[in-house]
Structure 1
Amino acid sequence: MADLYNFKNMPDEIRAKYTEASFLFAKAGNPKSQVYAMKNLAMEFAFVDSFSYAKKIMKEADSIASTLHIQRVDYNIANAYANIYDMQECYDLAEKYYKKAISLNTRHSMKDSMGLAGIYIASGKIKQAKELVDNMALHSPTAYGVNLLYGNIYKLTGNYEKALYFKEFCFEMVDSLTNAQSKAKILEVEKKYNHLKIQEENGRLKNARQRSFIYLIICVSLLIIGSIVFYFYRKHAKMQLHWQEEKLYSLDKERSEIAAQLSEARHSLETIQEDRGENIRLQQKILLLSEKYKELQKQRLESSAIYKKLSSLLAKPQPNNNKPLLTDKLWNTLVIELSRIYPDFRSSLYEQCPNLSEEECRYCHLHVLGFDGNNEAVLLNINPSSIWMKRTRIKQKLGRNLPKEQTLHNILVDTFLN
């Protein structure tokens, strides 16, 4: 964590984490890691010029390291001391610890030698610095640090031409490194841009595929649901139709039986006029059968498809309709259905009133359904007052001696629906 804070340049957090690490390593019985944590903590305090506290921590770390007898640990202690004294400008002590670090350095790193050369230059020991840099140049003649030290040495000795040469060489190295880093950064940015572009395109394609899949699932689901709903609707409609057919068949059968009984009773009444008691009984039976027969006919009429169709048309509001709801096709269906239930209705009308027009006859077929004047006006798309006039005119044609209080519907039902 301390190293991560170091990248973000958060010194307080760095010191806190190194302190915590030192405590935890000591608690875990890991003195080697504890020494490294304390060394890093001391360097952090040295960076903020707390040299006394840094050296106090280093002294404690050195005492622990001396018990380990690990050369790499001893090297890190010597290197830390050298850097602290270098920053404090205690060049003699810094020189001492740089030399110790060089002697303990198993990796042959030049950073301690460069640090020692810097100490020599700072303390005016130009000859020792030149010898040390010459020795480093044998292994790394193009190293930036080596050429920078050469430039400083020649500048102090007054050889400005060579000092300028090494300075320019260092600048060229820095420029070259900067250009290389810039190109690397550009390539990295381009790489990241291309990667992001590819990711974006892949994301777009993925989202498109997901949307297509979701749409497909929705469509399939709607199709399945629609099929299920249609299946049950059709099944329900078939059941309703079957039930309706059975009901109509039952009504027709019962109506036929009542008609047969009524015909038989009337025939019996004609043959036994002399028996008064039996005559009264048969008349009552005929009256009862007639009422039951009329009720069955009424039920049959109200259960018919045309009656339900007209009722459904009236149940739906038609605000902008300017045509009759009762079309020619529905008129024909109504006349046929009524002729099936009341076979003698049409002939009885014309027998009673030969001058009845076809339109008036059709209206009588509609009127026996029992709709009120407003509903009839809606079906015919005329004013309710016209319905009243039509009823009055037909009533007058059917008979002048009819009571005024008797409605046309009662006249048609009582007289013609047998």
Structure 2
Amino acid sequence: MKKHIYILFMFIFLLLGCNRQPSDSDKQLDEIEKIIEVNPDSASNILKSIPSPEELDNRTYARWCMLSGKVTDKIFNDLLPTYQFERAYGWYSSHGTPDEQAQILIYLGRSYFAEGDYDKAMSIYTNALDIAEKHKLNNLTGYTYNHIGDLYREKFMFTEAIKKYETAAECFKKENNTDSYACALKNIGREYACIDSLSRALEILTIADSVAANTKDIEVTASINNALGNIYVMREEYNKAEKYFLKALSTGKEKMPDYVALIDLYTTTDSIDKAKELLSKMPQDDPQYTCSINYLYYQIHNAERNYKEALAYLEEYVDMVDSIVYADNQSKILNIESKYNHLKISKEVDRLKIKQQSYIIFSVICISCLLLITIVYLLYRKQVKEKIQRQRDELNRIKTDFLYVSLELEERKKLLDTFKEKDDNYNKIEEEISLLTSNYKELQHKSLENSPVFKELVRLAKQNKPRNDKPLITDKQWKLIADEITYIYPNLSKYIYSLCPNLPEQDFLYCCLCMCGFDTNTEAKLLNIASDSVRKKRLRLREKLNIALLNDNATLYEYLIENMH
């Protein structure tokens, strides 16, 4: 039994093990974690090389989504669709650390924000804040407030955005996160500029500039210098604005905003030669700069009152913008279709997984039921064998007692014959013989009741077979009955044939059946005849044996038991 249970658990373990993903996926993700900080582009390529991420197990898939979000933070590509981060959060919510739960919620909120579902994004950010603040994760708390500020900014709620950016800045300051602290201050200054509080904006951005002096991230420094330049332009302090734009241009990797801001500054201040010189330094053959360069040429020619050239560049610029807008719209449409198809495929994969799991569960249940039935059957067989063995032991005991009593009875009879006179010993032995004879007959009866043949006849008599036209006792069973009866009652055959030497075999077999002690109704069922026919059959047999019963209520069985020696 233990063996079958062990086999069942092993089978279930193997079935569950079949769903595990190969370890090479984990190795690829380990490699991404190692290089993501120093080479995010290579990390992105490795992520894209993982085939069918939806087929990964939940743990590996959640990790894949988390790393995709981290790569996005480095190279600023598009975030994954919301349903993918939803699945990842489903795993992290049960198995992840608070840090991982807050991170994946931030990515999920950003994904909803990118899709324009601001209410859902706010709900997700609120959940992320609950986890981050509860576990005092200041950096994650700061990032969450920063993203909430972006959400308010998108809704033109600049005052609310400032409050969130200020809270984010405080969190970053607590954690000595210089880069994020400087960026949060830059965001605050930008929002103050949006509500025309230029003095306050300049004050905040000056603090951000001093903080950024301690950072190694040149992009942070460049973005703050660009912001300061824009503030000074708005204050019409063009010399200071030029100074900060030039600093931003010399440090940042993304130079186009600085080129545009400087040339716009030069055209505003009638420094056309400086504008032309700066424009000539721009990479003219770079496709990503072509549209902006056309617009800048338009500005310069327009400032020079060369309206024909300006119009040509403006028309070319407008055409390119229209093409870019069209291409962007087509890209968005394709992206939406791609996400829809991706979601459709993902749902189909989930449906197939559920179907596969249902098959596995059904198979396990069937096999479990089969093993259970097998175990129950084996236990039943064991009980049956034990019962049969007990019956055999009992039968052997009865036969042993039967043999012992018969031998002792014979000895007593021989001893009785040695006495010539009836004295006290004679009477005592005669009493012992009477007692042994009674015990002998009792053991004969028990032996008969415990015999397989007798039990089979009892079972046949209890059956209900409507429209049966044949006796229930077969020829083979008649022989078994005769063998069993003559074994238990060894003197029966001699006694019967002494009464009627020419008795037919069928009548002798019926005598053997009579020795079972069945009533007329039972015999009638076994022989498939009427009860009256049984009485007549017994009467004819008594006549053949010349047996006259003194008592009308006595039976042939009782007569044979009493008179057979």
Specify if TM > 0.5.
Answer: yes
1:96–1:224: structure 2 CA closer, same or farther, 3 Å change rule?
A: farther
1:359–1:128: structure 2 CA closer, same or farther, 3 Å change rule?
A: farther
The answer as to whether partners of 1:79 and 1:101 remain within 8 angstroms in 2 is yes
Give 1:334 deviation, angstroms: 0.8
Amino-acid identity (%): 23
1:366–1:42: structure 2 CA closer, same or farther, 3 Å change rule?
A: farther
Task: Specify the code of the residue in structure 2 equivalent to 1:254.
Answer: Y
CA distance in 2: counterparts of 1:145 and 1:171, whole angstroms: 13
Task: Specify the code of the residue in structure 1 equivalent to 2:260.
Answer: M
Give 1:251 deviation, angstroms: 3.0
CA distance in 2: counterparts of 1:260 and 1:3, whole angstroms: 104
Task: Tell me whether 1:342 sits opposite 2:492 in the alignment.
Answer: no
CA distance in 2: counterparts of 1:378 and 1:129, whole angstroms: 128
The answer as to whether partners of 2:448 and 2:485 remain within 8 angstroms in 1 is yes
CA distance in 2: counterparts of 1:32 and 1:363, whole angstroms: 113
Task: Tell me whether 1:115 sits opposite 2:261 in the alignment.
Answer: yes
Q: Which runs of 5 or more residues in structure 2 are unaligned?
A: 1-102, 119-146, 151-160
Give 1:102 deviation, angstroms: 1.8
Give 1:234 deviation, angstroms: 8.9
Residue 454 of structure 2 corresponds to: 307
Give 1:326 deviation, angstroms: 2.3
Task: Tell me whether 1:62 sits opposite 2:209 in the alignment.
Answer: no
Residue 561 of structure 2 corresponds to: 413
Give 1:354 deviation, angstroms: 6.4
CA distance in 1: counterparts of 2:201 and 2:519, whole angstroms: 111
Residue 264 of structure 1 corresponds to: 414
1:84–1:64: structure 2 CA closer, same or farther, 3 Å change rule?
A: closer
CA distance in 1: counterparts of 2:389 and 2:362, whole angstroms: 40
1:84–1:242: structure 2 CA closer, same or farther, 3 Å change rule?
A: farther
CA distance in 2: counterparts of 1:23 and 1:195, whole angstroms: 44
SS in 2 for 1:92: coil
Residue 246 of structure 2 corresponds to: 103
Please give the residue correspondences for 1:12-411 in structure 2 after superposition, counting only pairs within 5 Å.
12=148, 14=150, 15=161, 18-29=165-176, 33-44=180-191, 49-52=194-197, 56=200, 58-63=202-207, 65-66=209-210, 69=213, 75-83=222-230, 90=234, 92-93=236-237, 95=238, 98-105=241-248, 106-107=250-251, 109-118=255-264, 128=271, 132=275, 135-141=278-284, 142=287, 143=289, 144-151=291-298, 157=305, 158-159=307-308, 160-172=311-323, 225=375, 232=382, 236=386, 239-240=389-390, 243=393, 246-268=396-418, 272=420, 274-275=421-422, 277=424, 279-314=426-461, 317-318=463-464, 322=468, 323-352=470-499, 358-395=505-542, 398-400=546-548, 402-411=550-559
Which structure would you say has the larger Rg? 1
Task: Specify the code of the residue in structure 1 equivalent to 2:195.
Answer: S
CA distance in 2: counterparts of 1:74 and 1:362, whole angstroms: 119
The answer as to whether partners of 1:262 and 1:286 remain within 8 angstroms in 2 is yes
The answer as to whether partners of 1:368 and 1:409 remain within 8 angstroms in 2 is yes
1:255–1:67: structure 2 CA closer, same or farther, 3 Å change rule?
A: closer
1:84–1:70: structure 2 CA closer, same or farther, 3 Å change rule?
A: same
SS in 2 for 1:167: helix
Equivalent residue pairs, number: 402
CA distance in 2: counterparts of 1:201 and 1:3, whole angstroms: 28
1:204–1:190: structure 2 CA closer, same or farther, 3 Å change rule?
A: same
Post-superposition CA distance 1:365-410 (Å, at most 9, x none): 2232233444333433444454444445545655345321223332
Task: Specify the code of the residue in structure 1 equivalent to 2:432.
Answer: K
1:17–1:413: structure 2 CA closer, same or farther, 3 Å change rule?
A: farther
1:224–1:13: structure 2 CA closer, same or farther, 3 Å change rule?
A: farther
1:304–1:148: structure 2 CA closer, same or farther, 3 Å change rule?
A: same
SS in 1 for 2:397: helix
1:178–1:190: structure 2 CA closer, same or farther, 3 Å change rule?
A: same
The answer as to whether partners of 1:22 and 1:34 remain within 8 angstroms in 2 is yes
1:44–1:349: structure 2 CA closer, same or farther, 3 Å change rule?
A: farther
The answer as to whether partners of 2:169 and 2:181 remain within 8 angstroms in 1 is yes
TM-score, structure 2 normalization: 0.56
Post-superposition CA distance 1:207-243 (Å, at most 9, x none): 6997899699869967995896599569747844762
CA distance in 1: counterparts of 2:515 and 2:456, whole angstroms: 16
Give 1:285 deviation, angstroms: 3.5
CA distance in 2: counterparts of 1:97 and 1:378, whole angstroms: 124
CA distance in 2: counterparts of 1:292 and 1:41, whole angstroms: 115
The answer as to whether partners of 1:151 and 1:164 remain within 8 angstroms in 2 is no
The answer as to whether partners of 1:39 and 1:77 remain within 8 angstroms in 2 is yes
Post-superposition CA distance 1:124-175 (Å, at most 9, x none): x6x5468526623432224122223334555785323343234334445666
Task: Specify the code of the residue in structure 2 equivalent to 1:246.
Answer: N
Once structures 1 and 2 are overlaid, which stretch shifts more, 337-346 or 243-252? Answer: 243-252
Give 1:50 deviation, angstroms: 3.0
SS in 1 for 2:435: helix
Post-superposition CA distance 1:96-123 (Å, at most 9, x none): 55413223223252312212434566x5
The answer as to whether partners of 2:482 and 2:512 remain within 8 angstroms in 1 is yes
SS in 2 for 1:309: helix
